[in-house]
Structure 1
Amino acid sequence: MGRAFEVRKASMAKTSAAKAKVYSKFGKEIYMEAKNGVPDPEMNLSLKRIIDRARQQQVPADVINRAIDKAKGNDEADYHSVRYEGFGPNGSTFIVECLTDNDNRSVSEVRNAFTKSKGKMGVSGSVIHGYDHVGLIGISETDEEKVLDILFEAEVDLKDLEVEDGSMSIIVEPTDLYKTKDALEAALSIECEVVEITYLPHEEVSLDSDDDKMLFERLTNMLDECEDVQDVYHNVKTSDA
């Protein structure tokens, strides 16, 4: 998918790996979007897009349907987004996004993960300035000129485009993510393999010592286990971690 995709997938990839974590993540997102809007993906575009992303991650239909049914009922759960920033081994930086109904629980769990990994929580804005918030598209295509023509015609705010190993990674403004997806799929008769809003670090750091690598693994594993954590981004070169 090119350097940008590999950076997204490896160096600051979301650390969620277990299926249960992925199911929980999308279950919450689907529930909240269905609860706050119309619980029908054919009438709620935002809900439809979350469901499409969930299906890309192979979230079962019954998990999706349960979340929608829960939103239709009298459930009183009220999740909201919270973002934490922090520092890990060798000056590495982390952005931790949560969806929670209990701020005290989420901040306590995230802080505990940093503390037990010899890292520290930062104040709001201490880390995020070192990242670009972007939309990322990954497709199986190598004709840059053709894609550039499509994006120009669709009036997409293109930030970067790279081709590597028979695939292309396209970085756009977050607000143009789905406009880009729709334009490419319509013009090329393909399905985009990666469609997401993410954070790309301006600079990466390497972990050379075994202690740093151990602390990095401990931190990412502990964040993965936090109930409220949805996504984790970092600037560590994972191949060196």
Structure 2
Amino acid sequence: MGRIFETRKATMFARWNKMAKVFTRISKDIAIAVKAGGPNPDSNAALRRAMQNARAANMPKDKVEGAIKRASGHEAESYDVVLYEGYGPHGIAVLVETATNNVVRTVANVRMHFNKHGGSLGTTGSVAFQFKRMGVFRLNPEGVDQEALELDLIDHGLEEMGESTGEKGEKQLVIRCAFNDFGHLQAAIEARGLTVLSADSEYVAQNHLELPEEQANEVLKLVDSLEQDEDVQRVFYNLG
């Protein structure tokens, strides 16, 4: 086990609406989970995961319950999850995961963000081969025997485990598995009563491209612009 490498986050840019954006993203995750598996988190692992992320983001309980109730209604909003691929400045590969009720609007907006920041929207398959879809869990490492946990979780799909830091510099234990093993590993982590900070599927870059600081900042401006779009859920990229 070593330190998990994670690409640079665009934390240098002020996001006045960051908290509202996080709550919107989680609300959509809840809506998608409820639509697919029902409103009971005990029998819906995706909903349980979204609620876990809501707690980690300090999303008020009434907002979480409201999102579940709305998603359970007959007139609930339906979202399509669409993945867009493109290149940012200086050849950086970018994947944009969206949840949208209007694909025409979303693709136009995503293309606009790429064009505005020196990138280009690509075709399906042009970028995705450079990433691997994985289940990613971030845990509070306090009190965790990491070597014992690593050995224990290998039988439940663990592929990578290592230390990292959050946006505020806090220590995290990052655990990754193949996406198909997400449910198995989630159940194993829950059974051990570990403190989960977040749990998501992510597209992990298989190779990273290093850039000088000035060029890297140009890429991060694109990432920041995309992340603030109302239809964008997550952005992945191979900037080292």
* Shorter-normalised TM range: 0.7 to 0.9
C-alpha displacement of 1:2: 5.2
C-alpha displacement of 1:60: 1.5
Instruction: Name the residue aligned to 2:209.
Output: 205
**1:51-93: CA deviations, max 9, x gaps?**
1222122222122112122123342522111000110111101
CA distance in 1, matches of 2:86, 2:71: 33
CA distance in 2, matches of 1:185, 1:47: 14
Matched to 1:26, the amino acid is: I
CA distance in 2, matches of 1:194, 1:129: 25
C-alpha displacement of 1:167: 5.7
C-alpha displacement of 1:134: 1.3
Given the two structures, how large is their TM-score scaled by the length of structure 1? 0.82
Are 1:88 and 2:88 matched, yes or no?
A: yes
C-alpha displacement of 1:213: 3.9
Pairing of 1:39-188 with structure 2 (within 5 A): 39-139=39-139, 140=141, 141-144=144-147, 146-152=148-154, 155-162=155-162, 168-187=173-192
CA distance in 1, matches of 2:220, 2:161: 31
C-alpha displacement of 1:185: 4.7
Query: Which piece of structure 1 moves more, 56-65 or 119-128?
Result: 56-65
| C-alpha spacing 1:181/1:87, structure 2 compared with 1 (3 Å) | same
**1:103-147: CA deviations, max 9, x gaps?**
100000000000011110111111111112112233413542x12
Query: Which piece of structure 1 moves more, 161-170 or 75-84?
Result: 161-170
CA distance in 2, matches of 1:164, 1:142: 16
2:200 to 196, 200, 217: 196
CA distance in 2, matches of 1:40, 1:222: 35
SS at match of 2:156: coil
Instruction: Name the residue aligned to 2:168.
Output: none
C-alpha displacement of 1:217: 3.4
Q: Which has the higher helix share?
A: 1
Gaps of 5+ in 2: 166-170
C-alpha displacement of 1:195: 2.5
Percent identity between matched residues is 28
Given the two structures, how large is their TM-score scaled by the length of structure 2? 0.82
Contact 1:160 1:172 in 2 (8 A): yes
Pairing of 1:209-228 with structure 2 (within 5 A): 210=214, 212-228=215-231
What CA RMSD, in Å, does the superposition of the two structures yield over aligned residues?
2.8
Instruction: Name the residue aligned to 1:21.
Output: 21
Gaps of 5+ in 1: none
**Aligned residues, how many?**
229
CA distance in 1, matches of 2:138, 2:104: 37
Contact 1:159 1:173 in 2 (8 A): yes
Instruction: Name the residue aligned to 1:231.
Output: 234
CA distance in 1, matches of 2:70, 2:164: 43
**1:9-42: CA deviations, max 9, x gaps?**
x3699x9880111111111121232234322323
CA distance in 2, matches of 1:40, 1:163: 33
**1:217-237: CA deviations, max 9, x gaps?**
331222122121000011113
